[in-house]
Amino acid sequence: MRGPARTHAGEMRRIAAALVVAALVGLRPAGEERPNILFIMSDDHAAHAIGAYGSRVNQTPHLDRLAREGAIFTSVFATNSICTPSRAAILTGQYSHVNGVTMFNRFDSSRTTVARLLQAGGYYTGMIGKWHLGSDPVGFDRWEILPGQGAYVNPILYTANGEKTYTGYVTDVITDLALEFMKSRPRNRPFFLMMHHKAPHRPWEPDAAHGSRFTDRWIPEPETFWDAYDTRTDALHENQQRVAKDLTRRDLKLQPPPGLAGAALTAWLTTKPDSVTTTENGKTVTLTGEALVRWKYQRYMQDYLATVQSVDDSVGRVLEFLDRNALAKNTIVIYTSDQGFFLGDHGLFDKRFMYEESVRMPFLVRWPAVIKPDTRSDRIGLNVDFAPTFLDLARLPVPADMQGRSLLPLMRGKAPADWRTSMYYRYYHDPGDHNTRAHYGVRTATHKLIYFWKKDQWELFDLVNDPFELHNLYGQPGQEKLTAMMKAELLRLKRAVRDDDQLASEQLPNGVDGTVAALRGK
């Protein structure tokens, strides 16, 4: 869409959003005090790097406290495992193909967002930290954000009125600003604060204090670290996010030769080394082959986990502030990440794929007034559920065009009888970063089907007997009925979420028409 048509569409969205907001102004609930909502989100924090989720690689006492004193959700997933689309889905309650952010598109700020609705519904709203949506935040009484990815050290943050360079480490700066927001809030309104950390996003640069805690620590390798991708599609073989081959000298914090600058320095830092000279036990050694791969993993994980530790300490500071200021009881604290991340799983270090480590999001919630300690939910939740959940918590209506549903019943320990039993995923960026191929798929509680549509290749996994997704069952004898059922569910979900562009413009995945007809008895 170009020119006048695009302008008209944007104007229509602005008008629609304004009408929704105007309607909400008159619907502010009276009577019982509504809860404050503190939404803490990190970037690329894998659930399996949190103690409460069974981490084998680190300890996170403050995040574990949230789980212990509230609820832990074990099956919350990103519907498109990449930063910008996930953030748009969280704000709008809509899938990527509906909210318009499928890759690194600029978010259309004329759209209705949960922030605008909460603000109109009487909440004092704030956004502090990493935004990463291209356009400036709308619907916030106060916002201060990093430009793009932002910097780990002495970060610049900007507002509608200008920018400021802060001295210090980015996690600490964001925490300080978030605490100041809560201290200076108007006392006659509940608050909604989105506190978004940069950490632990690449290039995983810890501050000295946290970095020193992991410098000499040995991190166990995941069970699938040496995965050879047998039985899997070409897409996994072609990816370029491997610990063995694709970490750069900058990622590994190697020191450049003296005198390098400008383009030469950039070229040196972005090179992927096939040998590294280092010191071990007082001796200089040159690492290659398997020894180099193991060293790269340790270097990557030491830095990654150190940045995670800064986030955990930040959560501790926030919880202490809430306790000290009598805010804990009626403040909902939610911790999540914009998606998961590979921690050497399958030999990888990024996200994007529909495999478990990439799509699973941590989701911890504490609300002492309502949620019982040690509550656990294994039901499927999605990032498109977050916006409806915030509105439900605020006792405000959820717009009909939001595609998620409130997680509040699950927080209360009472799953509705009609709660979803499957979820739809779609990743678009092809070939894009890391050469990760476009795909979509369906996940149930027990199985997963992935279709790499540009390659016309499939993967089918039994998540009960093969939780690490090592054995592709697609096309194997005896899997015909399961395959047909999963394809039918995939088509049902595509239609349910209105992702029908491919159904109209491309050939349906092999066997779907016949499968649906057979299931319907036609």
Residue 149 maps to which CATH number? Answer: 3.40.720.10
Give the tokens for residue 434: 């890391």
Q: What is the pLDDT of residue 330?
A: 95
Give the tokens for residue 80: 């498109």
Q: How far apart are CA 244 and CA 249, in angstroms?
A: 13
* In a domain? residue 7: no
Do 118 and 169 belong to one domain? yes
Do 41 and 72 belong to one domain? yes
Do 331 and 409 belong to one domain? yes
Contact assessment for residue 126 and residue 111, using Cβ atoms and an 8 Å cutoff:
no
What's the domain range around 476? 438-519
Residue 455 has pLDDT above 60, yes or no: yes
Q: If we measure between CA atoms, which residue out of 425, 408, 409 comes closest to residue 417?
A: 409
* In a domain? residue 347: yes
Query: SS3 sequence, 102-121?
Result: CCCCCCCCCCCCHHHHHHHC
Do 198 and 239 belong to one domain? no
The CA-CA-CA angle for residues 87, 89, 92, to 5°, reads 110
Using DSSP, state whether 297 is helix, strand or coil.
Answer: helix
Q: How far apart are CA 439 and CA 445, in angstroms?
A: 20
Q: Please say which residue of 297, 326, 350 terminates a domain.
A: 297
Q: In the chain, how many domains are there? A: 3
**What does DSSP assign to residue 270?**
T
* In a domain? residue 432: no
**Which carries the bigger pLDDT value, residue 193 or residue 501?**
193
Residue 44 has pLDDT above 50, yes or no: yes
* In a domain? residue 25: no
The average pLDDT across 318-328 equals 98
pTM as predicted: 0.92
Residue 20 has pLDDT above 80, yes or no: no
Do 343 and 406 belong to one domain? yes
* In a domain? residue 17: no
Q: What is the pLDDT of residue 507?
A: 39
Residue 517 has pLDDT above 90, yes or no: no
201-233: pLDDT as tens digits: 999 999 999 999 999 899 999 999 999 999 999
Q: What is the pLDDT of residue 280?
A: 83
Q: Which residues contact 228 (CB under 8 A, 6 or more apart)?
A: none
Residue 198 has pLDDT above 60, yes or no: yes
Do 230 and 321 belong to one domain? no
* In a domain? residue 23: no
Buried b (16+ CB within 10 A) or exposed e, 83-94: bbbbbbbbbbbb
The average pLDDT across 14-25 equals 55
Q: How would residue 2 be classed by pLDDT, with cut points 50, 70 and 90? A: very low
Q: What is the pLDDT of residue 508?
A: 44
* In a domain? residue 121: yes
Q: How far apart are CA 445 and CA 192, in angstroms?
A: 32
Q: How many CB atoms lie within 10 A of CB 22?
A: 10
Q: How far apart are CA 483 and CA 462, in angstroms?
A: 11
Query: SS3 sequence, 74-97?
Result: EEEECCCCCHHHHHHHHHHCCCHH
Do 196 and 225 belong to one domain? no
The average pLDDT across 350-359 equals 98
> For a pLDDT cut of 90, what percent of the chain falls above it?
88
Residue 506 maps to which CATH number? Answer: 3.30.1120.10
Contact assessment for residue 229 and residue 470, using Cβ atoms and an 8 Å cutoff:
no
Give the tokens for residue 160: 């509608």
Q: What is the pLDDT of residue 431?
A: 85
Please write down the long-range contacts of 506-513, taking CB distance under 8 Å and 24 or more positions apart.
506/453, 509/451, 509/453, 509/458, 510/456, 511/483, 511/484, 511/487, 512/487, 512/488
* In a domain? residue 305: no
